[in-house]
Amino acid sequence: MTKTESNGPPVSKSPGPVPPDGGGGGVGGALTAGEADRIMLEGPRSRLGELVTLLRVLRDFLRGFRALHFVDPCITVFGSARTGEHDPHYQMAREMGAAIAKLGFTVMTGGGPGLMEAANRGAKDAGGRSVGCNIELPVEQSPNRYLDHFVTLRHFFVRKVLLLKYSYGFVVFPGGFGTSDELFEALTLIQTGKVQHFPIVVMGTEYWSGLLGVIHQMAQSGTIDAKDVELIHVTDSVEDAIGYIREKSIKPFSLKPAVPKRSRLLGE
């Protein structure tokens, strides 16, 4: 994308020249944390540069598919990376992770610290499986120590696809822009029929009250259907959340553990 300033020539969004390969020295070239998305989104580049970006995205997907292909059905837990261990929400997320594991699900998170760590930690407490889709960021994000398996990705949208692809339900704890984005991504996919009607549980009635008020206002204004409000189950109780997940996920889809056959040809 370009813009014109003071009737002069088009000015690129990029702060400076970008090499044809996107600045990373090839498909597997070293990029600083967060640079891959910036390069992809900064506007048109050479055809070679776009091809390299496409191959990098493909590489992200392939790594994610290989890492997560053999996990059992998952419940994905979203939440802030900034929440400390002594916060009540951390303890609740840890309890939730344990309860999900006891249901027989693998606990999946974004793989980072805070409430993601708490949910993964709870799964380990209960002897369950714990996986994560980590993302390269300049700050905050590094894989937590309670993961059985994880994959670190360069692109945010690849990460979101993987967090949704392997899950049969979503639990949303207090968080910021990223958590809200993940919540609305899941809601949009269910509302538009792109994925089946999996349960979405929002934990923290007081924390989310403002956002839930906005969603109710959307329904009153007709920008969403009134029934769309029912896509969210809001609670402060781990027990209530687990009962909802059992009712809306296990029973409708007759879930049971299934291990895909490994391929020696693919080195699995």
Residue 31 domain flag: no
Is 267 among the domain residues? no
Residues 6+ apart with CB under 8 A from 42: 12, 13, 14, 18
- Number of domains making up the chain: 1
Higher pLDDT, 262 or 236: 236
Handedness of CA 31, 33, 37, 42 (dihedral sign): negative
pLDDT, tens digit, 9 for 90 and up, residues 92-118: 999 999 999 999 999 999 999 999 999
Considering only CA atoms, which of 144, 140, 110 is closest in space to residue 124?
144
Domain membership of residue 51 (yes or no) is no
**What CATH number has the domain bearing residue 100?**
3.40.50.450
Task: Judge whether 28 lies within some domain.
Answer: no
Which range of residues forms the domain containing residue 114? 72-253
In a domain, 167, yes or no: yes
Q: Residues 103, 97: contact at Cβ < 8 Å?
A: no
Residue 50 in any domain: the answer is no
Q: Where are the alpha helices (DSSP H) in the chain?
A: 35-41, 47-68, 88-103, 115-125, 156-165, 177-191, 209-221, 238-245, 251-253
Whole-prediction pTM value? 0.82
- Length of the chain, in residues: 268
pLDDT, tens digit, for every residue of 237-264?
999 999 999 999 877 666 555 555 666 6
Residue 170 lies in a domain: yes
In a domain, 18, yes or no: no
CB count within 10 Å of CB 167 equals 22
